[in-house]
Structures are given as C-alpha cells and as structure tokens.
Chain A
Amino acid sequence: MSHWIDGNGGVYVAGIGLHRYQFPTQTPYTHLGLTAVRAALADAGLAWQQVQSAYIGTTSIGMAAGPVMLRHLGAGGLAVMQVENASASGSFAFRQACIEVTHGISDVVLALGVDKHGDGRRAANKDGLEHLSDSATIPAVKFALMARSYLRERGAGAEAMARVAVKNHGNAARNPYAQLRKPRTLEQVLAATKVVGDLTVPQCCPRGEGAAAVLLVSGHALGRLGLERKRCVRVRASCANSERHQHPERSEGHQCPERSERHQPPERSQGHQHPERSAPGAPRHGASAIELVRSSAQAALEQAGIAATQLDLLELHDAFSVEELLYSEAIGLCAPGEGPAYLERGDSQIGGRCAINASGGLLGMGHPLGPTGIGQIVEITRQLRGAAEGRQHPGARWGMAHMIGLGAVAIAHVLSA
C-alpha cells in the first residue's frame, strides 16, 4: 500500500549535524544552530544555496529565530518557518519537512532544532482556569504518580525504573554530543536526592541547550544531486496525534479500585490478564497517556509495514525513567507487564534485541526541547549507517523516533537503512 510518505520518490535523511547538548551558557543560539546546520551540510555534501526550505523547532528563543540565524549562511531566499510543540517541537519540524518533500513542494529541506534554556512559560498556565493544587501542571509529579501505580500494578520495586537511568546514562557516556557523560550504578541512582515519589535526580532529564539538524532530500533528487544512496536513511512513516481524554484514569472498568490497586497480582506474567481492566495489560492509572503513545506508534508501524518487534532501535521520551518502561510496553517491544524484565534481561541494551535510547536518551543525552526530536533522528541515522562509533548497535535496519509533548501530543517516525 502506498502512503503519502512515499511521494516524490520517498524522503531521505541525507545529512546530520549536532551542537553538543549542554548546561545553560551565554552562547548565543545562532552559534548553536549554525554549528549543527554547517555540520549537516558538510555531512550531506550539499551547499546552503541548494536548500529550498527550512523548519526551525524551538520553544524558548522567541519570535523568528530562523531568519536571524540563517542569514549568516548567506542569503538564500528560502522559505523559513518556526515550529513550536513543546518537547516535540523538533519532531514536528521534521514532520513538516517530510510533508514538504513528499508532496513535491521542495526536494531539499532543512529541519533544525535549536534552543536555549527558557523561562518555561506555558499556554496551560494562561487559560484562565485554576487548579486545586499548583502541582497540577508539573510533569515530574504526573510521572511520579504514574510510576507509583505502574510499580504497584507490576509488583515491581523502585529499582525497576532506576535501571532505565543506569542504562541510559551508560549510553550517554559513550556519546560525545551528550550533556551528561558519567556512567552511574544502580546504587548511585537509588541513593541520589529524591525529587518526587520514587524519582531521584538521575531519573529526571536535565534541561539545557543545544542544536540538531538534518537535511531531507527527495528520492527523485538524490541522483541529480549526486548523493550516495547508501549514506542516506529513508523515512518510512510519520504519524502524529493528541490525547483523547483529559483525566489520568480510564473512563470505564474501574468499579473496584480498592481490589484492583491494593491487592496486586503476584505473578508478573499474569499481570496483563487482570480481569478488572478494560484494556488488557495497560496500567490503569495514566491510561490515556499510555494510549496516546500506543496509538501513535502503532499507526507509524502500520505505515512502515513492520511489527514493533522488528525495530532495532528506538529513541523515546525518557524525560523520567518510568516512561521507558511504560512506552516499551505500549509501543509493543514487549508484552504488557514485561517492561522491567525486558530491561533487566538486556534486551534494550546496545547489542540487545532493540537498543532503546542508544544516544543516552533524554536522561543522558539531554532534553533541550527544540533539538530533542531531531537529535533522535540524528542518532538513528548514525546507527543505521553503522557509524555510531563506540555505541554502535550491530546490524541495525529499522529505527523509530517517538516523542511526546505537553498537552499532550505524540509523534512517531520510522526510518530504515
């Protein structure tokens, strides 16, 4: 079946570039962004004048960052557009670039994510509606609540999610572009300062700054531009959606909260057959957020024509450690309830069944917001090329970049070698 993503001969990532993610500095965003763009141009072997259009993902720089930055590459007269979608800003800039290429509007498009650490102003705080508690719009609190329910329902301890931080900080230590490059032991992660609930500091992503750039080229233009097909990675799917329910619990199937939440099924393997749950397996609390991830990933897998278990690489939104367990189940890498075992067996390590967050993820590589989603594409491209020196996942053919953003929105891209 043909999809829009296959239009114009398909869309390929031909060039990648990064400015290292780092703690906030006085470095102007123009320097961060231009470093990534120049690296992507050099990687692709393209000249700036060949780029027809640019999408800039950013949350905190302010209006019209693109033209202010890109004029230093020489006036190109290209179309420039800024994209803001919270954590998913870069992912959505990438998606817009894909749409422009596959619809034949342009053959060479830049997607750039660049950000400085901002003041975190959010539309959700300006809607004129009050909350009973000021904690209501703090993501760390939301995920700590979800973590508590997840661990209780799975019969798992806090170390189950702390292991996510151990793996991802370990991967980041092998990534020269990562913000945090120190491996951490399970004991260190568990003993670190507590933030909220069972989440300690190394289980919460750092904020910072950085930039990530990719150059997208149509399949029809690859030959004309003299680009080597085997250095290019094809985008096989792009799907986006938003949350269906505003409340954090399932709307049906919760007639007996005491029984389903207080008396835990002891066997992990039977956790997903609990009779009181309306959708087998999904954690009851936070179900709408999980459904958002599941449905976006499922749509992307269908568009790409593969099963989740065929993924070799998965970069996902591990802003808080528990998310990786929740989403590895929701995306279908493992069965519901198997997230902790999948991680503990080493299945999500580099060299395992599917390397999750080989880059170090948001926990280790960092989460500068605008660049994050494009940084995922950069990592997957590097891995699919077999060029991720020091952290290469062997034999990688398929990768997914999955991101969520405040609100909540989700977006998934599938790429193949």
Chain B
Amino acid sequence: MTHDPAAMTRDLSTLPAQRPSLYRLAADGRSLDFLFAQCPACQALSFPANAPGCMHCGQAIDASAQVLRPGGGTLLEYVTLHLALAPGLPVPGIVGDIRIADRVVQQGLIAVDDESRLHPGMALRARAQPLASGDGYGCVFVPDRQAAQ
C-alpha cells in the first residue's frame, strides 16, 4: 500500500473520506486536515472532534468547538505489524504512535517501505491514500520532508 504510482496522480477530490469525522482533503488535494475540538474551558485540542468531553479537563464539548488543523505530528514510536490482527490492516505494515497535537496521541499507519526510514521524534504529515476498493480515501502518515529541511 505504500508506493502506488497511480495513487500519486489520481484526483481524490471527488472521493469521500473513509472517516469524515476525523479528516478531510486539504487544499493541495493530497494532504489531510484533521478535525479537532477546541475546549471552551481549557482551550486544548481533543481528538476525535465528536468526543463528548474534553480529553484533558472533561468539559462537555459540542460541534461548535470543531476546528481544522493540518494533519501531521511527531512520531513517538513505531513497529512493524507481521500478522493480520484486524481486518483492513496492511501486513506487513508499519504502525506508530504519533503526537498529532499537544497531549494528543493517535496510532497511525505509516506509508514507508521499512523502519530504517523512521526515527522517534521525526515529523510526519498525513496524506490521503485511495482505498483498494476505490470508494474513498483513507489516512496514512509519511515523513514530512518540508519539516526536515
């Protein structure tokens, strides 16, 4: 699933997001913006945005608190998945814990061929990835070359 040349040129803007409660296509037609909820009490970001309470202070939050931010973050740790532990996960594939906002960590699929291209602390950005079924796009993380420069 990592390097599909056709995927790099395909127009994704006509496809639906696999998980619209989490992300949507960014203006560049390739990156993803993440949907967060910003707490009215402590101002911190929570994810996913439709959580019924702030994950930091517990304040009740609703749809009015939703904000879009460029999807990406800092890679904290990563491993290779060798066995299919759940349907839909690539095997072998790399999963990592990624800090996508201050005190917000999510697991994500990382679209690189092997672990040697990764190290903890590196910047990643979220990219749209066409689903094999052809009926939408999902989310993968790739090294953020811009941030690395």
Contact = CB atoms under 8 A, between A and B. Distances in A.
A249 B99 contact: yes
Nearest to B79: A197
A169 interface: no
Interface in B130-146: 139
Contact of A145 (B23, B51, B83, B97): B97
A257 B76 contact: yes
B88 A134 contact: yes
Given A129-B50, A129-B51, A247 B85 contact: no
Contacts of A39: none
A135 B86 contact: yes
B10 interface: no
Contacts of B69: none
Contacts of B79: 141, 144-145, 148, 196-198
A204 to B, nearest CB: 10
A174 to B, nearest CB: 29
B147 to A, nearest CB: 13
A248 interface: yes
Interface string B49-74: 01100010000000000000000001
Interface in A114-172: 128-136, 138, 140-141, 144-146, 148-149, 152
B95 A133 contact: yes
A381 to B, nearest CB: 35
A309 interface: no
Interface in B8-50: 19, 21-23, 48, 50
A130 B35 CA distance: 12
Contacts, number: 107
Contacts of B19: 130, 132
Nearest to B93: A135
A195 B83 contact: yes
Contacts of A198: 79
Interface residues of B, number: 37
Given A133-B109, A251-B103, A195 B82 contact: yes
A27 interface: no
Interface in A261-302: 261-262, 285
A196 B77 CA distance: 13
A5 to B, nearest CB: 31
A357 to B, nearest CB: 24
A149 B50 CA distance: 31
A261 B95 contact: no
Given A130-B19, A262-B121, A285 B81 contact: no
A136 B121 contact: no
B51 A258 contact: no
Interface in A207-265: 246-249, 251, 257-258, 261-262
Interface in A82-128: 128
A134 B22 CA distance: 13
A133 B79 CA distance: 14
A138 B95 CA distance: 12
Contacts of B97: 145, 248-249, 285
Contact of A133 (B80, B99, B106): B106
B1 to A, nearest CB: 12
A39 to B, nearest CB: 36
A140 B95 CA distance: 12
Interface string A159-202: 00000000000000000000000000000000001111110000
Contacts of A128: 50
A135 B85 contact: yes
Most chain B beta-carbon contacts within 10 A, residue among A131, A132, A148: A132
Interface string B84-122: 011111000001110100011111110000000001110
A257 B108 contact: no
Nearest to B98: A132
Given A132-B106, A145-B77, A285-B76, A257 B85 contact: no
A138 to B, nearest CB: 5
User: Considering residues B21, B80, B107, which has the most beta carbons from chain A within 10 angstroms of its beta carbon?
Assistant: B107
Given A141-B79, A196-B83, A262-B121, A132 B55 contact: no
Contacts of B83: 193-196
Given A145-B97, A247-B103, A196 B120 contact: no
Contacts of A195: 82-83, 85
A262 B78 CA distance: 13
Interface of A: 128-136, 138, 140-141, 144-146, 148-149, 152, 193-198, 246-249, 251, 257-258, 261-262, 285
Given A132-B22, A247-B105, A249-B99, 7 more contacts: A130-B19, A130-B48, A132-B107, A145-B77, A148-B78, A196-B79, A196-B81
Interface of B: 19, 21-23, 48, 50-51, 55, 74, 76-83, 85-89, 95-97, 99, 103-109, 119-121, 139
13 contacts: A133-B109, A135-B89, A135-B107, A140-B85, A146-B77, A195-B83, A249-B97, A249-B105, A251-B103, A257-B121, A261-B121, A262-B119, A285-B76
Give the top 5 A-B pairs by smallest Cβ distance, nearest first. A197-B79, A258-B121, A257-B121, A194-B82, A261-B120
